[in-house]
Structure 1
């Protein structure tokens, strides 16, 4: 598995929830096989925020 690093812009959702809105460029979405509405796991590793898709095991990726 190869590891790719990208920089993305994060914005406060502005609704008091402490949620973030992460702007993911279209080419990254395509490379990760993501579509609008897909869920991501976010993990803080050192100073990096690591995004990984949450796959539904019943769909048989």
Structure 2
């Protein structure tokens, strides 16, 4: 599934960025608040987010 968004400054002076994931996308992916995500940089402007299975430490789709 492909989703395009903008990374915004966290606003806390750290220089960290954050993204908002719409509820509809979370539901479609079966993700929930508190899930652990792995972030991979594929290209300078492309991030791939994958949910980690906490029990196995493995990636899930």
Q: TM-score, normalised by structure 2?
A: 0.71
User: What pairs with 1:5-20 in structure 2 (closer than 5 Å)?
Assistant: 5-20=2-17
Distance 1:19 1:37 in 2: 19
Counting matched residue pairs gives: 56
Partner SS, residue 2 of structure 2: coil
2:52 aligned residue: 54
User: How much does 1:28 deviate?
Assistant: 1.0
The normalised TM-score by structure 1 is: 0.71
More helix by share: 1
| Match of residue 37, structure 1, among 34, 39, 52 | 34
Moved over 3 A (4+): none
Query: Structure 1: 5+ residue runs without aligned partners?
Result: none
Aligned to 2:19: 22
